[in-house]
Amino acid sequence: MSDSKLVACLKHWQVALMVLLLVASAIAIGPRFEDGKFTTNLQYGLDLQEGTWLQMEFKAEVVGFETDRAVEDFVADLQKQLDAEIYLIDENKLEIRGYYPEETLRTIFSAAGGRLTTYEQGVSRETADDVKRILENKLNALGTKDARVNPLTGLSGVSHYIRVELAGVSLSQAKEIVGTQGKFEIRIHTTGNQTEHVLYGDTITTVGVPSHEPPGSPVWGVSFTLSEEGARKFQQGAIATGAVSNPDAHYLDMVLDGNVVYSAPLSADLAAKLAIEPIRQLYASTGTGAAGLEAAKNHEIHLRAGALPVDVTVAGSGYVPAALSDYFRMMCVVAFIAAAIAVGVVIFYRYREPSIVLPMIGSNLTEIVILLGIATLIQQLDLAAIAALIAVMGTGIDQLVIITDEILHEGKVPSPTLYKKRLARALGIILVSAFTVIFAMIPLALMDLSSLRGFALITIIGVVIGVAITRPAYGEIIKEILSK
């Protein structure tokens, strides 16, 4: 192509926009050599990166109900029957934080003078976000380099599952980190080995990182904060058991999943304060030196683990070793290049004209680069996403063929008015097929079919980029080339 034609092409805003986005995407992807290795900003999902995924199921339900009684009374009655926390999350919706089959609940609801109207296993969006935050905190505290936690929320707004992806962590490690969630409890010794329940971990509102207390001393420990209710319970418990008056005879135990993870007396200072008022800001000291720091780190996790409001079980899991993920990544690149070459050969066989074939392939690949550029911001690439990329390339080239054939109808170079009409007609066909693909993919993008969401998103974005940017741009380019 001569320089003047190149300039003429760029004068069309569609072409200019495409070039601009291409450059921006190339920068976003940022291909470079680092330590002699080729790296980019693309985020890889599992399969293409070593790591583990865990999908956990909430042991809880969101149920709808009807009752003629006052809602508070009704819920209070339910609470007596169910050994689980119950929250009113909507006018007529309850979140029950324990697993009960639908039939059991139906019976209990009737007995309490109401009716169960809907039943869905899972938790409300808010609770799911809480769990997500707690897990993220925990994972970050452990220094897990790359962790993703996503509640999978269905169309009804109920999260049945939460998916955790941990890069560079083995399956057993991952399960240890997230799978063994337990209930945290504080108990105080009464007489002998007897202990009395004081509070559960859900009243712990914040947990600090290991620190020295008082600052500058060699003693390590973790600070944590109780809610007002928790602080009140703590004070009452400490007074009732006698820990306030005689701390050394009434040790305080912190229990995680039935195991005592920490046991120490109240400090004299704290005991004196508790005798007067509830204290929210507490500190658990763990000793001095490296051992103290290590214990403090562990204790921090224990305190956080206790804050998970809903029990979870592992519903599915998977692990990809580094050797395999590197191999997959390489093979994906090979598959992609092979597919691109195959497309090029067929197109060349059909048109035999480099001035048509090159812009065609060029705009097709541009589309992929722009798509990858956008993907760096929103979507990690896994095998399903790669399949989507190849699908986008396939529909992309299909649609470019439609444009080319429509414009070159009967092999003649059309006049500008005819060209416009034909391009519009081609874009009409393309628009319809683009909409069908988008509509076909929307359910997947909205539903919680974990790995297929990426597939659907990449396909939809790819089709949108194609229809909005690269196809019109190709139409202008081909016009400039043809108008000899």
Residue closer to another protein by CB (options 295, 460) is 460
Which listed residue (6, 76, 209, 331) binds another protein by CB under 8 A? 331
To the nearest whole angstrom, how small is the minimum distance from the Cβ of residue 475 to another protein?
Answer: 16
Residue closer to another protein by CB (options 24, 171) is 171
Please choose, out of 13-21, 195-203, 278-286, 378-386, the segment that lies near another protein by the rule CB under 8 A. 378-386
Q: Determine the size of the site formed for another protein (CB under 8 A).
A: 76
To the nearest whole angstrom, how small is the minimum distance from the Cβ of residue 18 to another protein?
Answer: 21
To the nearest whole angstrom, how small is the minimum distance from the Cβ of residue 217 to another protein?
Answer: 42
165 binds another protein (CB under 8 A): no
Residue closer to another protein by CB (options 308, 368) is 368
Residue closer to another protein by CB (options 120, 130) is 120
398 binds another protein (CB under 8 A): yes
To the nearest whole angstrom, how small is the minimum distance from the Cβ of residue 379 to another protein?
Answer: 15
Which listed residue (268, 436, 468, 483) binds another protein by CB under 8 A? 436
- Helix and strand numbers (H, E) in the chain are 15, 19
What's the CA dihedral at 213, 215, 217, 219 to 10 degrees? 30
394 binds another protein (CB under 8 A): yes
Residue closer to another protein by CB (options 89, 314) is 314
6 binds another protein (CB under 8 A): no
Footprint on residues 66-125 left by another protein (CB under 8 A): none
Strands (E), 26-129: 32-34, 37-39, 51-58, 61-67, 85-90, 93-97, 114-121, 123-124
To the nearest whole angstrom, how small is the minimum distance from the Cβ of residue 48 to another protein?
Answer: 11
Which listed residue (57, 136, 196, 257) binds another protein by CB under 8 A? 57
Which listed residue (391, 421, 464, 482) binds another protein by CB under 8 A? 391
Token pair belonging to 400: 């470019």
Footprint on residues 337-376 left by another protein (CB under 8 A): 338-343, 345-347, 349-350
43 binds another protein (CB under 8 A): no
Decide: residue 416, CB within 10 A, 0-12 exposed, 13-18 middle, 19+ buried. exposed
To the nearest whole angstrom, how small is the minimum distance from the Cβ of residue 447 to another protein?
Answer: 5
Please choose, out of 4-12, 269-277, 394-402, 412-420, the segment that lies near another protein by the rule CB under 8 A. 394-402
* Residue 60: closest CA among 129, 161, 184: 161
Which listed residue (387, 421, 464, 482) binds another protein by CB under 8 A? 387
To the nearest whole angstrom, how small is the minimum distance from the Cβ of residue 412 to another protein?
Answer: 14
Footprint on residues 268-327 left by another protein (CB under 8 A): 314-321, 323-324, 327
Footprint on residues 438-477 left by another protein (CB under 8 A): 439-444, 447-452, 455, 459
Alpha carbons 95 and 284: distance in angstroms, whole number: 33
432 binds another protein (CB under 8 A): yes
390 binds another protein (CB under 8 A): yes
Please choose, out of 33-41, 130-138, 187-195, 403-411, the segment that lies near another protein by the rule CB under 8 A. 403-411
Reduced 3-state DSSP string for the chain = CCHHHHHHHHHCHHHHHHHHHHHHHHHHHCCEEECCEEECCCCECCCCCCEEEEEEEECCEEEEEEECCCHHHHHHHHHHHCCCEEEEEECCEEEEECCCCHHHHHHHHHHCCEEEEEEEECEEHHHHHHHHHHHHHHHHHCCCCCEEEEEEECCCCEEEEEEEEEECCCHHHHHHHHHCCCCEEEEEECCCCCEEEEEEHHHEEEECCCEECCCCCCEEEEEEEECHHHHHHHHHHHHHHCCCCCHHHCCEEEEECCEEEEEECCCHHHHHHHHHCCCCEEEEEEEEHHHHHHHHHHHHHHHHHCCCCCCEEEEEEEEECHHHHHHHHHHHHHHHHHHHHHHHHHHHHHHCCHHHHHHHHHHHHHHHHHHHHHHHHHCCECHHHHHHHHHHHHHHHHHHHHHHHHHCHHHCCCCHHHHHHHHHHHHHHHHHHHHHHHHHHHHHHHCCCCHHHHHHHHHHHHHHHHHHHHHHHHHHHHHHHHCC
The site map against another protein for 166-195 (x = CB under 8 A) is ----xxx--x--------------------
To the nearest whole angstrom, how small is the minimum distance from the Cβ of residue 158 to another protein?
Answer: 12
To the nearest whole angstrom, how small is the minimum distance from the Cβ of residue 168 to another protein?
Answer: 14
To the nearest whole angstrom, how small is the minimum distance from the Cβ of residue 332 to another protein?
Answer: 8
Please choose, out of 27-35, 78-86, 93-101, 435-443, the segment that lies near another protein by the rule CB under 8 A. 435-443
Q: Let me know: does 376 contact 43? Beta carbons within 8 Å.
A: yes
Please choose, out of 102-110, 135-143, 248-256, 395-403, the segment that lies near another protein by the rule CB under 8 A. 395-403
